[in-house]
Structure 1
Amino acid sequence: MAFKSFRLNMLLRLLLLITVIVALLLVLYRTDWFITAFCLLLLALFQIYDLLYFVERTNRDISSFLEAIRHSDFTQRFATKSKTSSYNKLYQSFNDISDAFQKVKAKEQAHYLYLQAIVEQVGAGILTFDESGEVRLVNQVTKEMFHVPHLKNVEALARVSPELVHALRSTGHNEKALVTVQVGQAQLLVNLHVTEMVTQGQKLKIVTFQNIQSELEEQELQTWQKVIRVLTHEIMNSITPVISLASTVSGMLEQEVIEKYKKGEPLDEEVLGDMQAGLQTIERRSTGMQSFVKNYRRLMRLPASELKPVKVRDLLHNIHHLLSSQMQANKVEIKIFLPEENLMVLADEEQLEQVLINLVKNGMEACAAGEHPCVEIIAYLPEQENAKLQIDVTDNGTGIPEDVLDKIFIPFYTTKEQGSGIGLSLSKQIMRQHGGNIRVRSQPGETTFSLQLRLMKK
């Protein structure tokens, strides 16, 4: 119908133009009415201009409509209520097409928001990017994992870890990679899985991230606990009768010596002395082993943490009060830097004090032999969004050797002659019960243990 109206208008204009031209020719040929001929010539020129404008208007409208479609601009509207326009139905068709495209775009946008909402609910990090590295989709878990508020290109992750970017680029379809990433004070062990797909002629990578550091640590701790349970059970079953037997034999020996002495019989003092010394050694070592087993049982039977609101300032003041005299006696300076804010944490105050006391004493022993020995305790809130409270215990001792650094949290491992090897392991277990963690970094002349705790929400 729109094109029928267009043709009709074209025909009327052409017929009128032809009529005027014929009339102009007749006037010029048969009469000398030059003024009339001039007026007819002006009318013919006007009709030619009107015809060209009429035809070009269609081209302009179609060009404008296609340009809007090309740029996905479906807000352009064409007037369809004009009584004199022959394009009303054509414009209505343009508007209908725009409405259809707008509905499709709205539907796609709704699907995208729906997909984005699902992706945000997933506990693992998700990232998709094309061959140029441009990020198409990234969820909040990924941003928080790597502390990046915005991510437009995967190359931006090189500031966090060049190895991570290399793994993203080099890992192929349905392959996995394990990358160690240092983010601030925390070390992450990231397991990433890559899936490739081609959409609209472009190759995309879909990557899922999962920090398995805590799971590995939890598994490691559970494994050690199982081993220790078996060891303590077997050791206790063996040591108890040995102690009892050694004590009984020692008593019987004493009785035999007394009886022979009363009878006046000669005694082999050297043999008796060796037997007595050997039995005493068995008893002493067995008792010592039993004492060690009792200490190890503490690691297995750590009571559940009773979490209550604890003011960080008061906690550190108590540590200073408890240890200041002991530090002075060992000529070690202790410095405590309190947070500016009145921060609160949910914690078991006694257990947390036990951790801090253990770390401060370790620091005191590490730096006591040096010049100007000092242990510092600093509590602060890192600048990262949703960061945990951090308490650093730093000493200026000789540092921890690199080959020892990754073993100090293993139960029973110790470099001290009189150490039991359970202090740091207990501390780590306590921190995990608090939903926090404990990290260490060391270099010659400085060692820092960092505790991370969740703040109490206001």
Structure 2
Amino acid sequence: MTSNVSDDNELEQLKKENDLLRRTLGQIKGTFTYHDQQLGLTVKKDEKQNIEITKMDNHLLSDYGGLKESEGFLPAILDFVPHHIVFVDAKGIITFCNQQAAKDLNVERDQIIGKHIRELLQIPDEQIAVLESIKSGTELKNKEVLDMNYGIINTRILWNPDGSIKRVIGTFYFLNVIKEAEKQALAGRIAAGIAHEIRNPLTTVRGYLQFLSESDDNEHTKLFSNLLIPELDRANKIISDFLSIAKPAHTKTKELNIYEFLTEYLGKFLKSEALLYNAKLHYELHPLTRKLSIKGHQDELLQVFMNLLRNSMQAKNHAPLEITIKTTVRAQHIQIQFIDNGIGIHTSILSHVFDPFFSTKEEGTGLGLSVSRKIIENHGGTMTVESDVNGTQFSISLPIYND
């Protein structure tokens, strides 16, 4: 009996306290919403001064402050950021990864979410900045990273109300592009030295050998004309290709109809090469291709596609080689894709295929793709590559010419 009376008194007291709180909140002007994570309740006051106390939404209760919800819509915003942005929880598990980080590190974003950060970066835990922040509880500011992914990293820590770590955000300013530009500048300086110190002596030696080879009484005529002179010409060609990478081109350009260039001028060369190597050539051209033009040097652009064709021939697998040339129109640019079904390029070397003198072929100079990209850049365009076990795709984007 005493217990029931006590319970009734406590219930009555709770009702009075509830009424008091509601009257007190009613004196506050305006509308508001308050979430109490500890109690799991939400208090809301609307324009009519009605006060409602309800259970917190699950997404707020599980991660107060709307972090989960934010991580849901953040990709649409942070995918425009050209740097790496990764969120991890207190255990180092990835909860968010922007598209730039996924692209540069050659992963599928949807597959990397929920995995440990080491699976994304592929480096030891002690070298991972966000794990360092989790361990030490301190943020990193402008830390320079000097491994293969060169750049500047910053971390920020989001704390739970109880003082534990909720998230660590890592932002990585990817400087490999700047590093590549510095490498190209160095290549230019080296090329100038090569041109001055080697090219002139080679020309002199070649001229003297040519003179000797034309002498009837010279027993070494065949040696000069069949071996030494061709080798000097080959060396000179390497120097010329290298110079074309480092120096801006000053070639005359003209208006080129995209459809006619791809199917007629380029097509006659590609078709003859494809026939020679028993390869199939396909075109998937956007209808607007017939009406649009670019401004360029057709012989230089031919060199680009012939370089791509030779690479495809050398990457042929057991299946018959198939080459597809596809065009799409994007804003004021025409994108030309050169696609093959070869063995593909391994991810470990994919980022180096445009580097001067980088080659996996024993007899290759490693200048073909470097020269090709330089030609495209001289035309105001860009050239990129994607590859997997199903083949390789080179994408060339060129500005549409408007007279």
TM bucket normalised to smaller: 0.5 to 0.7
Corresponding residue number in structure 2 for 1:61 = 23
What TM-score results when the alignment is normalised by the length of structure 2? 0.55
Aligned equivalents of 1:419 and 1:68: distance in 2? 71
Match of 2:387 among 441, 447, 452: 441
CA RMSD of superposed structures (Å):
5.8
Q: Which sections of structure 1, spanning at least 5 residues, go unmatched?
A: 1-54, 79-118, 149-153, 181-187, 258-271
Aligned-residue offset at 1:439 = 1.3
Corresponding residue number in structure 2 for 1:3 = none
Correspondence 1:451 to 2:395: yes
CA contact (8 A) 2:328 2:336 kept: yes
The 3-state SS of whatever aligns with 2:154 is strand
Query: Alpha-carbon deviations, 1:243-297, whole Å to 9, x = none?
Result: 455567x49x979x8xxxxxxxxxxxxxx847x7777776665455345434443
Corresponding residue number in structure 1 for 2:263 = 317
The 3-state SS of whatever aligns with 1:303 is coil
Tell me how many residue pairs correspond in the alignment. Answer: 327
Aligned equivalents of 1:233 and 1:60: distance in 2? 89
Corresponding residue number in structure 1 for 2:100 = 145
Correspondence 1:362 to 2:308: no
* Structure 1 range deviating more: 369-378 or 330-339: 369-378
Q: What amino acid is the match of 2:354? A: F
Aligned-residue offset at 1:454 = 6.7
The 3-state SS of whatever aligns with 2:171 is strand
Corresponding residue number in structure 1 for 2:155 = 194
Match of 2:280 among 316, 319, 333: 333
Aligned equivalents of 1:380 and 1:159: distance in 2? 35
CA contact (8 A) 2:385 2:394 kept: yes
Q: Would you tell me which structure has more helix in proportion to its own residues?
A: 1
CA contact (8 A) 2:187 2:246 kept: no
The 3-state SS of whatever aligns with 1:217 is helix
Instruction: Pick the structure with greater CA Rg.
Output: 1
Aligned-residue offset at 1:398 = 5.4
The 3-state SS of whatever aligns with 1:335 is strand
Aligned equivalents of 1:410 and 1:135: distance in 2? 32
The 3-state SS of whatever aligns with 1:331 is coil
Q: What amino acid is the match of 2:284? A: F
- Kindly report which structure 2 residues correspond to 1:58-457, keeping only aligned pairs within 5 A, or say none: 60-65=22-27, 70=34, 145=100, 158=113, 163-164=119-120, 167=128, 169-172=130-133, 173-174=139-140, 175=143, 192-196=153-157, 205-243=168-206, 250=212, 273=219, 285-303=231-249, 313-318=259-264, 319-339=266-286, 348=296, 350=298, 351-364=300-313, 366-367=315-316, 372-380=320-328, 391-397=336-342, 408-413=353-358, 421-433=366-378, 434-443=380-389, 446-453=390-397
Aligned-residue offset at 1:214 = 2.6
Q: What amino acid is the match of 1:338? A: L
Q: What amino acid is the match of 1:226? A: R
> Aligned residues: percent identity?
18
Q: Which sections of structure 2, spanning at least 5 residues, go unmatched?
A: 1-16, 36-42, 50-77, 104-108, 134-138
What TM-score results when the alignment is normalised by the length of structure 1? 0.50
The 3-state SS of whatever aligns with 1:377 is strand
**CA pair 230-122 structure 1, distance change in 2 beyond 3 A:** same
**CA pair 371-156 structure 1, distance change in 2 beyond 3 A:** closer
The 3-state SS of whatever aligns with 2:354 is coil
Aligned equivalents of 2:197 and 2:312: distance in 1? 35
